[in-house]
């Protein structure tokens, strides 16, 4: 069965980017190569990725600023109300409810898993639809006080795994469901 | 030297209480008696505690609702602009900058440490004044999406210790200082 994971970094106070969408607080942290919940190990199991318009735009800006190319060869689904220029091959733009596109996204992942890249609201939409299985967060030793929220929803989780990777606390949670209170 | 620690529980998305100051999300979690960063071990090293008006009011309401008494015999300093009824002995209300009261608070702790109970803004005031040494957070497996912020400041921390205690991820951070970006 295809597993759907929201794999992201966050500040200790729950922001995935600052108010200006900067990730400076993230890139200055150190990780341990081959360490727990590392990116290389994670991405090896991923067959398709999903992101929102802001995340996609951020990646495009970042690639242009650094004269880099789209790094992924797996299908990427972008939830957007606009029609952004494709940054690479196998990018599909969609809009509307996540449930309506889920079968196609799962199909595109083959026998591997789905990665919800972000932002927090898109991950929340997957969770609300009962389609998010796990959250894996790398918690940076930083507080920002404001910014883009990690997961703007009331949900119960279950701590499955906890480890340190360099400067990060890395936690894996199963998504239990929406809170009733 | 007296160490000053902000010891608190938080949701994964950085809230220490929900929008209605409820801690229902917290009390339903399980902890392991005698486990890492447990309350009994922590409080044994504390000589005085400091809290803001909202936290103090919350405790008062909670005590009245449950017909309980003030549980602390160490000095408690309450930063407030009001003049709340004392909930127990050795409670002192103060107002204004934390720096102006710091010497007296440290003095009252004897040879033990200080506990900043909360809220997040008071802990931030201690940090801004260079008077907060550590943050120990018990992260509950819950997201709330909104509520009272853990630490509404831009600060760098250093992860010192990481452990699991029951349902919680427990992390100890040294406070490094304000971020410049």
Closest residue, chain A, to B171 (C-alpha) = A169
B101: closest CA among B110, B111, B92? B92
User: Are B148 and B120 within 8 A, CB to CB?
Assistant: yes
User: How wide is the angle at C-alpha B150 spanned by C-alphas B126 and B16, nearest 5°?
Assistant: 125
Q: Supply the pLDDT for residue A94.
A: 97
At B112, list the tokens.
């033990």
Provide the number of CB pairs (under 8 Å) joining chain A to chain B. 118
Environment class of B1 (CB within 10 Å of its CB; exposed 0-12, middle 13-18, buried 19+): exposed
User: How wide is the angle at C-alpha A8 spanned by C-alphas A3 and A13, nearest 5°?
Assistant: 130
User: Are B14 and A14 within 8 A, CB to CB?
Assistant: yes
Q: pLDDT tens digits, residue range A103-143?
A: 999 999 999 999 999 999 999 999 999 999 999 999 999 99
d(C-alpha A107, C-alpha B117), whole Å: 50
- What residues in A contact B145, CB-CB < 8 Å? 124, 149, 151-154
Q: Is the dihedral of CA A142, B122, B26, B112 positive or negative?
A: positive
Q: Which of A12, A13, A159 sits opposite B141 (nearest CB)?
A: A159
At A66, list the tokens.
């650094």
User: How many CB atoms lie under 10 A from the CB of residue A33?
Assistant: 8
Q: Strands, DSSP E only, in B23-167?
A: 46-52, 76-79, 91-94, 113-118, 134-140, 142-143, 148-149, 155-165
* Single pTM value for the model: 0.96
Please check whether residue A20 touches B, CB under 8 A. Answer: no
Partners of residue A46 on adjacent β-strands: A113
Please check whether residue B22 touches A, CB under 8 A. Answer: yes
Partners of residue B84 on adjacent β-strands: none
User: Are B114 and B102 within 8 A, CB to CB?
Assistant: no
At B117, list the tokens.
């109970």
| Cα-Cα end-to-end distance for chain B | 31
Which stretches of chain A score pLDDT less than 70?
none
B121: closest CA among B47, B39, B12, B16? B16
Q: Supply the pLDDT for residue B71.
A: 92
Q: pLDDT tens digits, residue range B41-62?
A: 999 999 999 999 999 999 999 9
- CA count, 13 A, side-chain hemisphere, A57: 13
| Cα-Cα end-to-end distance for chain A | 31
- What residues in B contact A11, CB-CB < 8 Å? 14
Q: Supply the pLDDT for residue A37.
A: 86
Q: Supply the pLDDT for residue A1.
A: 86
A148: closest CA among A32, A52, A42, A49? A52
Please check whether residue B162 touches A, CB under 8 A. Answer: yes
* Interchain contact, B171 vs A13, CB within 8 Å: no
- What residues in A contact B181, CB-CB < 8 Å? 18, 22, 24-25
* Interchain contact, A137 vs B12, CB within 8 Å: yes
Helix or strand (DSSP H, E) at A101: helix A99-108
User: How many CB atoms lie under 10 A from the CB of residue A26?
Assistant: 18
- Identify the residue whose tokens are 């992860």: B159
Please check whether residue B45 touches A, CB under 8 A. Answer: no
Mean pLDDT by 10 residues, chain B (181 residues): 96 97 95 90 97 96 95 96 92 97 98 98 98 98 98 98 98 96 81
Torsion (CA) A74, A16, A96, A80 in degrees, nearest 10: -70
Q: Report ipTM (2 d.p.).
A: 0.96
Partners of residue A136 on adjacent β-strands: A7, A172
DSSP state of A73: -
Q: Supply the pLDDT for residue A141.
A: 98
* Interchain contact, A146 vs B158, CB within 8 Å: no
* Interchain contact, B13 vs A157, CB within 8 Å: no
């Amino acid at each position: 069965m295809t597993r759907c994971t929201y794999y992201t970094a966050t500040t200790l106070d729950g922001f995935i980017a600052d108010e200006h969408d900067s990730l400076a607080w993230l890139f200055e942290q150190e990780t341990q190569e081959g360490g727990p919940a590392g990116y290389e190990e994670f991405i090896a199991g991923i067959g398709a990725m999903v992101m929102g318009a802001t995340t996609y735009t951020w990646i495009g800006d970042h690639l242009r600023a650094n004269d880099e190319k789209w790094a992924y060869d797996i299908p990427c689904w972008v939830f957007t109300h606009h029609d952004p220029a494709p940054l690479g091959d196998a990018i599909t733009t969609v809009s509307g409810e996540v449930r309506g596109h889920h079968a196609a996204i799962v199909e595109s992942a083959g026998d591997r898993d789905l990665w919800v890249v972000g932002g927090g609201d898109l991950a929340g939409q997957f969770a609300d639809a009962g389609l998010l299985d796990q959250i894996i967060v790398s918690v940076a030793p930083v507080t920002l006080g404001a910014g883009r929220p990690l997961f703007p929803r009331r949900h119960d989780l279950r701590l499955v795994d906890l480890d340190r990777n360099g400067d990060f606390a890395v936690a894996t949670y199963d998504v239990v469901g929406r809170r009733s209170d």
